[in-house]
Structure 1
């Protein structure tokens, strides 16, 4: 589920258009706001950042727009990379509409909790971490209640990542704790509805949907090739993903 098997970037964009679009938006906004530092970009940043006093004064769009904004390149890069790792499987399983519901509902719930619980009126925050933690919440629901949708190896990866991510939330300074925690809770709470009538993730489903003009041919060695993965591959993948999550926690910052 979490190891990319697409042949190239074009395939990834074709199979996972929502994840691809979100990543493009993250990086494009960072480029225009932080790199080019255009006046219009800086105004958009000020207009879109989560700001408790602004929300209190009726600027409710600030519950949504912080999901697209990031403080620096590493913040945007690691959140986007995390989305590339964990978003595709859910986009295939849920479909485009329900994936968007899961992502933005979790992000909004995290931002709303920040507004309601954080006592500082001038508190500001940005980042997609709350929405990404919502995806973790959906995965954890699978592990606990929909074991038919996730195998044991991927379930172990999900649980390790979720635990480490939640621990990092409390250990690193400058992290919006409420967005992480309540984004996770939001994804978990919505998972029962979102996961109704879905099929497990399968990379073969992508191949069957390929439209590159080449006929699909049967390969008699196909199944044998799937069984020759070296031992330890799963453990290696766990530690790679774990390291990425740790970096994500280190790079996450609020304003």
Structure 2
């Protein structure tokens, strides 16, 4: 389930949504690295800055999902998506997978906006990725046949490690991680009960 055996071109064809999302991550990162743009231009235009959201820049509830600060940030989130996303994109189909990813990320960003001070700002796909983890947990909780015993042995430790890192690493949007996880779990639980 989590082992990739496809070639690069096969991956692009089989998982178009993940391919597009990772491409957006990389393009925005590369743009932010170009000397023709001020260093923080992408961040200033697309980050989830609560003050600007309050002033009507509602797109900042969506765009932070695709923006990252630094190479390690974009690499880690893109790698997580490539590793844990394909099974869900295949299982749900591209439209439901897109909805799960975006709803989890946007919900995490809305709660971040509502719970953090106006001076707070954030970027990163972690809320959406934790939404995928939440969906997997819901499949485990509802004993959905989609999650095998072997898959359960992989996903549970990853989620636990992710939660530990959420509370022990600096600069983490704890709210986004937790509420992305909750959103994904609720979506998965409702789907699993059906």
Q: TM-score range by the shorter chain?
A: over 0.9
Q: Which residue of 2 aligns with 1:72?
A: 70
| 1:145 counterpart (142, 146, 151) | 142
**1:129 has 2:126 as partner:** yes
Give the superposition deviation at 1:147.
Answer: 3.1
* Cα distance in structure 2, aligned partners of 1:23 and 1:128: 10
Query: Shift of residue 28 of structure 1?
Result: 1.0
Equivalent in the alignment of 2:59: 61
SS in 1 for 2:145: helix
Q: Which residue of 1 aligns with 2:26?
A: 27
2:111 is the alignment partner of 1:116? no
Structure 1: gaps of 5 or more residues: 198-255
Does 2:173 correspond to 1:176?
yes
Please say if residues 2 and 89 of structure 1, whose CA atoms lie closer than 8 Å, have aligned partners that are also in contact.
yes
| Structure 2 unmatched ranges of 5 or more | none
Cα RMSD (Å) of the superposition? 1.6
- Structure 1 distance, partners of 2:81, 2:3, is 13
Q: Which has the larger radius of gyration?
A: 1
TM-score by length of 2: 0.95
Is contact 2:136-2:155 (8 Å) kept?
yes
Q: Give, in whole Å, the separation in 1 of the partners of 2:49 and 2:189.
A: 31
Task: Determine the C-alpha separation between the residues in 1 that align with 2:37 and 2:73.
Answer: 21
What is the CA distance between 1:178 and its match in structure 2? 0.2
Kindly indicate whether residue 9 of structure 2 is the aligned counterpart of residue 10 of structure 1.
yes
Q: Distance in 2 between matches of 1:77 and 1:175?
A: 16
